[in-house]
Amino acid sequence: MGSVMQVVFDAASLGSLYALAALGIALIFGVMRLVNFAHGDVIAACVFVLLWPSVDAVAIVFAGNLPWFLLIPFVLAMGALLSVLSEIVVFRRFRNANPATMMIASFALGFVIRYFLLMLYSSRPKSISLLPELSQPVEILGARIPLLQVITIIVTIAVLFGLVAFLRRTRFGLEMRAAAENFTMARVLGVRANRVIMGAFALSGALAAAIALILGSQTGTANIVMGANVMLMAFIATVIGGMGSLAGAVIAGFALGAIAVVMQVILPPDARAFRDAFVYGAVILVLIFRPQGLLAARGTKERV
Amino acid sequence: MSLLTLANVTIRYGRLMAVRNVALSMAEGEILFITGPNGAGKSSLLRAIAGVTPPSGGRIDFADHDITGRAPEDIARLGLSMVPEGREVFGSLTIEENLMVGTGMHSRESGWKARAAEALEEIYVTFPILKDRRHSQAGLLSGGQQQMLVIGRALMTNPRLIAIDEPSLGLAPNITDQVYERLIALQASRKLTLLIVEQSSTRAMMVGGRMILMRGGEVVLDGDARKIGQSDAMQAAYFGYGDH
């Protein structure tokens, strides 16, 4: 029983991470058809804003020493700010470019952020202790689960409910949903393009910051490439979820996390090194049978 | 005093000239039909007026503002609402949400919520079917209902001018009749200015009002719909004999 619960919690917390990241990508794709590959580097940058710039191996914690009720809003705000800035400085110029051009621009921006971090902090991973009180285990149904895992899952569920309420109940949410489905028509009805897009970037950046907090406390390190793996998985989740479908991205994110954790358990020990190959194999299978993704977004569906 | 004025408007897509030197002026409260065969540049002209694809040359004025090349949301906020070809409802949104999207442009004004609720009730009186199904997804509506929804959605922005592209497209004739009946009634009760694009001139002749005829990107005829309808020049414009 205890080991099964352990697997369930591992799967749910890894899936939460992927789901949050996939949401950040799907939100922006929904309103401007941009696959933002800089998202992973924004995640990394959000960890580094807690440190004072230095190339030493020992991290000089700066904002990371704030009490949690200031730390969390600070990181979320920094994520939103960085993301909105990337829109104003970079992506706004590519508003009418084709999706491939925008994607390449996002790669370029990702490299700029990464090398900027490299310049200020060096490429050496730094050990940090972020919210250390969260690494204590709690006992749930016979399994000893790190408190952080429980919090990750709870935070993800809260974020999802909050986002749904925001999209369904607020004027801004209505405008965002309309714009995600048919951007031009929304503008013809007076919806301000810049406002909606900046809102999507701000939300996406705040989600990246939430992931940064979780990853930072989970791994206890700050590494300039720490967002890359999550970004890759999240991108795959948005593709198999159906590009632009928020619900699809979340479901696929959780599914990918679950598959990865379950593979780790059921694969014979010799094959575990190739776990990711099996995960990607499952992705290929999904795409063979449902090339449009699990939940195809309406905006990208062929209109009859 | 004209509400909408076009001067030397030209629209190019690459090397293709879709609209060539069109000049046009509409008075407040007027009904104007733009008719002409496929590829005459009618839709291009409408899209340029609404700011969706800016013109390559010329100037467009609406309500004493130069709107040439302005963003669609700015033009909408001046009171020009376009209903594009193919209706373009937000299929995943409910009918009521579709209607509400365009009210946000007034959200800075005081008392806008009450006015929006009032406008919504008015739309529901005009189109009772929308009220019955207000919480269902707009994508599930029939073509005629979707046409009523997009007209209602445009009205919710409280516009001075509505520009509609092919409201009869894909609709059965009796449904088209219903759509036009309500449109004309709304025009009269609200002193709306209506700019309607239709491929066929039959509807213009039935409704009356002013009609222009486009062919090959140019305006070839401009006058009273019923008079033009009976002239030989119209036959020439559609079927291509004459001096072209």
Arithmetic mean of pLDDT, A75-87:
96
pLDDT surpasses 70 at B99: yes
Q: Which domain holds residue A289?
A: 2-300
Residue with the two structure tokens 């301000």: A192
Q: Are B219 and B24 in contact (CB under 8 A)?
A: yes
In a domain, B85, yes or no: yes
Interface probe, candidates A185, A192, A303, chain B, greatest B C-beta count within 10 A: A185
pLDDT surpasses 80 at A303: no
Predicted confidence at residue A298, as pLDDT, reads 53
Looking at the complex, report in whole angstroms how far the Cα of residue A27 sits from the nearest Cα belonging to chain B. Answer: 16
Cβ separation of A174 and B84 shorter than 8 Å?
Answer: no
Size (chain A), residues = 304
Straight-line distance from the first to the last Cα atom of chain B, in angstroms, rounded to the nearest whole number: 34
In a domain, B66, yes or no: yes
CATH number of the domain encompassing residue A175: 1.10.3470
The residues near B106 (Cβ < 8 Å, ≥ 6 apart) are B112, B115, B116, B158
Predicted confidence at residue A302, as pLDDT, reads 39
Q: In which order are the strands placed within the sheet that holds B193-198? A: B80-83, B161-165, B193-198, B31-35, B210-215, B218-224
Neighbours of A116 (CB within 10 A): 14
Considering only CB atoms, which residues of chain B are within 8 Å of chain A?
50-52, 71-73, 76-77, 81-82, 84, 86, 88, 90-93, 97-98, 100-102, 104-105, 107, 139, 153-154, 157
DSSP letter at B230 equals H
Query: Binning pLDDT at 50, 70 and 90, where does residue B192 land?
Result: very high
Arithmetic mean of pLDDT, B43-71:
95
The residues near B16 (Cβ < 8 Å, ≥ 6 apart) are none
Q: Which domain holds residue B174?
A: 2-239
Predicted confidence at residue B209, as pLDDT, reads 87
Closest by CA to B165, choosing from B75, B74, B85, is B85
Predicted confidence at residue B244, as pLDDT, reads 44
DSSP letter at A65 equals G
Per the structure, the count of domains in chain A is 1
In a domain, B244, yes or no: no
Question: In whole angstroms, what is the distance from residue B203 CA to residue B177 CA?
Answer: 9
Residue with the two structure tokens 């694009």: B197
In a domain, B213, yes or no: yes
pLDDT surpasses 50 at A304: no
Residue with the two structure tokens 């509506």: B141
Nearest chain A residue to B71 by CA distance is A187
Chain B residues lying within 8 Å of A298, measured CB to CB: 91-92, 139
Neighbours of B240 (CB within 10 A): 11
pLDDT surpasses 70 at B240: no
Query: Binning pLDDT at 50, 70 and 90, where does residue A297 land?
Result: low
Arithmetic mean of pLDDT, A56-75:
80
Stated as kind and residue range, the H or E segment containing A262 is helix A246-266
Looking at the complex, report in whole angstroms how far the Cα of residue B74 sits from the nearest Cα belonging to chain A. Answer: 7
pLDDT surpasses 80 at A245: yes
Q: What is the token pair recorded at B75?
A: 């033009």
Nearest chain A residue to B46 by CA distance is A188
In a domain, B158, yes or no: yes
> pLDDT over 70 for what percent of chain B?
97
pTM tops 0.80, yes or no: yes
Per residue in A169-212, pLDDT (tens digit) is 999 999 999 998 899 999 999 999 899 999 999 999 999 999 99
Angle of CA points A105, A20, A199, to nearest 5°:
60
Q: What is the token pair recorded at B230?
A: 């009976």
CATH number of the domain encompassing residue B111: 3.40.50.300
The shortest CB-CB distance from A191 to any of B91, B98, B104 is to B104
Question: In whole angstroms, what is the distance from residue A274 CA to residue A279 CA?
Answer: 9
Residue B15's alpha-carbon distances to A139, B20, B214, in angstroms, are: 71, 13, 20
Per the structure, the count of domains in chain B is 1
Burial class for B180, CB neighbours closer than 10 Å (0-12, 13-18, 19+): middle
Q: What is the token pair recorded at A102?
A: 């925008």
Considering only CB atoms, which residues of chain A are within 8 Å of chain B?
171, 174-175, 177-178, 181-182, 184-193, 298, 303
